[in-house]
Amino acid sequence: MVEKLKIMVASTVHGFSESLEAVYATLTGFGYEVWCSYKGTIPVHPDKSNLENCIEAAKSCDLFFGILRPYYGSGIIGDTSITHEEIKAAVDENKPRWFLAHRDIALIRQLLKKLYTENHDGTKNRNIKLEKGPILDDLRVVDMYNYALMTHIPVEERTGHWVQSYYNFSTDGMDYIRFQFKDIEAIRKIVEQMKKEKENE
């Protein structure tokens, strides 16, 4: 029997639980083993912190699916959230990865671009502060978006940096998920190819 591909779904949860239920049901229906903290399906080691368990899951899954929303999340440890660290781990490990980002994040990024200076690691120094509001609750959401875009790497060296914009998750977001992940055998070939390339480095 062929082992199921393990896909990790990384997203903030507040106000998004119904959408995560739909994502979980869709990906499970396609035949994936879905790792999602909201559903309690992240492998948990009882001697590790929540952050450690989530980062380990991002490193050991077969493929990674990140959903960036205008909400940074409550699981903030130090300077970054757990979701932020999951995304960084997936990018740094060069996992086969797919990203969806709410269009407001891309819009705000463009509006504020001139107010940022970029560090070598893709994080941003900013000359403004943002009060929590209904459109964006934390500018670190833009930092996550930049990391998914791999702005910390020269343009000519970037791969895996496609971040698809969505506005209405139940329509265009779910359409993206169905189109990208429905052919599980095509995804399996991508996973195996990237694994071989990593082993040969």
Cα–Cα dist 131/139, whole Å = 9
Domain that holds residue 31: 6-183
CATH number at residue 91: 3.40.50
Tokens 């948990």, residue? 44
Predicted local distance difference test score (pLDDT) of residue 133: 62
Contact between 145 and 101 (Cβ < 8 Å): yes
Cα–Cα dist 195/182, whole Å = 21
How confident is the prediction for the chain on average, in pLDDT?
90
End-to-end CA distance of the chain: 30
Count how many domains the chain has.
1
The answer to whether residue 21 is domain-embedded is: yes
The answer to whether residue 69 is domain-embedded is: yes
Select the more confidently predicted residue: 195 or 114: 195
Two tokens, residue 153: 């790497």
Alpha carbon 35 to chain centroid, angstroms: 13
Query: How does pLDDT run across 29-57, given as a tens digit for each residue?
Result: 999 999 999 999 999 999 999 999 999 99
The answer to whether residue 193 is domain-embedded is: no
The answer to whether residue 46 is domain-embedded is: yes
Predicted local distance difference test score (pLDDT) of residue 2: 83
Reference 37, options 139, 56, 140, 47; nearest CA is: 56
pLDDT bucket at 73, cuts 50 / 70 / 90:
confident
Predicted local distance difference test score (pLDDT) of residue 187: 98
The answer to whether residue 192 is domain-embedded is: no
Tokens 């095509």, residue? 186
Predicted local distance difference test score (pLDDT) of residue 8: 98
Count CB atoms within 10 A of the CB of residue 54: 23
Predicted local distance difference test score (pLDDT) of residue 130: 60
The answer to whether residue 128 is domain-embedded is: yes
Q: From residue 161, give the alpha-carbon distance in Å to each of 34, 99, 107, 151.
A: 22, 8, 18, 9
The answer to whether residue 100 is domain-embedded is: yes
Query: How does pLDDT run across 99-119, given as a tens digit for each residue?
Result: 999 999 998 888 877 666 555
Cα–Cα dist 142/108, whole Å = 8
The answer to whether residue 197 is domain-embedded is: no
Query: How does pLDDT run across 131-160, given as a tens digit for each residue?
Result: 666 677 788 899 899 999 998 899 999 999
Query: How does pLDDT run across 176-193, given as a tens digit for each residue?
Result: 999 999 999 999 999 999
- Portion of the chain with pLDDT greater than 90, in percent: 72
Predicted local distance difference test score (pLDDT) of residue 90: 97
Predicted local distance difference test score (pLDDT) of residue 1: 79
Predicted local distance difference test score (pLDDT) of residue 121: 53
